[in-house]
A = this chain, B = another copy of it.
Amino acid sequence: MRVAIIGLGLIGGSIALGLKQANPEINIVGVTPRQETIDEALSRQAIDEGTTDLCRGVADADIVFLCPPLNLIVPTLKKIAQSLKSGAIVTDVGSSKTEIVAQAAKVTPQEVHFIGGHPLAGKEQTKFAAAEANLFQNRVWVLTPTAKTSRPATIILTQLIKLLEARVIEMKTDEHDIAVAGISHTPLAIAAALVNSVAAEKKSQANMKQLAASGFRDTTRVASGDPELGRDMFTTNKKAVLKTLANFKKSLTQLETAIKKGNTTKIKQLLAQAKKFRDEVYV
C-alpha cells in the first residue's frame, strides 16, 4: 500500500510516524513545500520518500492524507485532483467539515473517493519537530462519509486509521461542525478574548501577570495556539461558531445577572450545574 501525506506538520508528521511504527511495510511518500522538512522526515524514518511536487507525490498513491493548513485543504485538493489514480481514497484532517466536504464533492473526479476526516489531537506546536508516533492513541478521529461515499472505501480508511490506535467515529458534517464549534472553536474564541481583556487593562495588567496562577493558565491555554489555524477555524466553521458563541453568551449573561442581583442561590445552582456536567465528561 502506498500512502501520500501532504503537509508534514504536527498532524501529517504524526500520521507518517504512526503508520511506519504500526507497519513498516506501508510505503509512505511525504509531500511538502520545504525540502528541509522532507530531510527531517527522512532522517526520522517517518517517510520512505519525499517530494515538493504535489502531483508527482500523489500519482501512485492508494490513500492520500491532506494535512496542509486548514485554509489550503480545498485549494490543494483542486491541484491534485487530476493526478489521483482511479480508486484512490483521499481524506483530510481539517477541524471543520461541511464546507470542505461540499467543495471536495465538486472537485474530486468520480473514480476517486473523498472522505472528510478530523483527528482530535491538537497541541500548541504545529511543526514536524513536534510530531510523534503515538499522537492519536486513544484520541477520537471523526470521519464524515456522506450518503454517496463508497462503503468499502470508508472501511479501508478506517482500518488504516485504526493502525494509529485512534478511536474512529462517524458523524454527519453539520453535526461534527456544531460539536467542534462548541468544544474547540468557541473555547478558543473565549480564551483569546479573556487574554485580550486582561491585556487591555493597562492599570492592573502588571498585577494580573503577577497573580496569574494555574486557573488562568489552563483557561487560556488554547489561546497560545497558532493564530492562522484559529483564523481558519473561525472562517471555515463560521456559522456553527457564531451559533455556539451566541449560546455561550446567553449562559454567561444568566450568571452575570445572578451576580449583579446578588442571587446567591442562583449563582450556586449555575456553578453546581456546570460542575456536574463537566465531572461527567471528564470522569
The count of residues in chain A whose C-beta lies closer than 8 Å to any C-beta of chain B is 91
Of A60-68, A104-112, A157-165, A275-283, the one touching chain B = A275-283
Which chain B residue shows the least CB distance to A215? B222
Alpha-carbon separation in the docked complex, A272 to B230 (Å): 9
Complex contact A224–B275 (CB within 8 A): yes
Of A11-19, A148-156, A168-176, the one touching chain B = A168-176
Chain A residues 212 to 271 lying within 8 A of chain B, measured CB to CB, are 212-225, 227-228, 230-231, 234-235, 238, 241-242, 244-245, 247-252, 254-256, 258-260, 262, 264, 267-268, 270-271
Complex contact B275–A227 (CB within 8 A): yes
A193 at the interface (CB under 8 A from B): yes
Complex contact A208–B189 (CB within 8 A): no
Contact partners of A222 in chain B: CB under 8 A: 215, 218-219
Alpha-carbon separation in the docked complex, A277 to B178 (Å): 29
Among B208, B256, B264, B278, which residue has its beta carbon within 8 angstroms of that of A195? B278
Complex contact B192–A270 (CB within 8 A): yes
Among B178, B192, B194, B199, which residue has its beta carbon within 8 angstroms of that of A187? B194
Contact partners of A218 in chain B: CB under 8 A: 218-219, 221-222
A43 at the interface (CB under 8 A from B): no
A146 at the interface (CB under 8 A from B): no
Complex contact A193–B251 (CB within 8 A): yes
Complex contact A140–B267 (CB within 8 A): no
Complex contact A193–B121 (CB within 8 A): no
Complex contact A204–B178 (CB within 8 A): yes
A207 at the interface (CB under 8 A from B): yes
A191 at the interface (CB under 8 A from B): yes
Which chain B residue shows the least CB distance to A187? B219
Minimum CB–CB distance for A225 against chain B, Å: 7
A147 at the interface (CB under 8 A from B): no
Which chain B residue shows the least CB distance to A169? B210
Which residues of A are interface residues toward B (Cβ below 8 A)? 120-122, 139-140, 142, 169, 171, 175-176, 178-180, 182-184, 186-201, 204, 207-225, 227-228, 230-231, 234-235, 238, 241-242, 244-245, 247-252, 254-256, 258-260, 262, 264, 267-268, 270-275, 277-282
Q: List 30 A-B contacts (CB under 8 A).
A: A120-B211, A120-B213, A140-B211, A140-B213, A179-B204, A179-B207, A179-B211, A180-B211, A182-B198, A182-B204, A182-B208, A183-B198, A183-B213, A183-B216, A184-B211, A184-B213, A184-B216, A186-B197, A187-B215, A189-B259, A190-B190, A190-B219, A191-B219, A193-B274, A199-B273, A225-B275, A227-B275, A230-B271, A231-B268, A249-B252
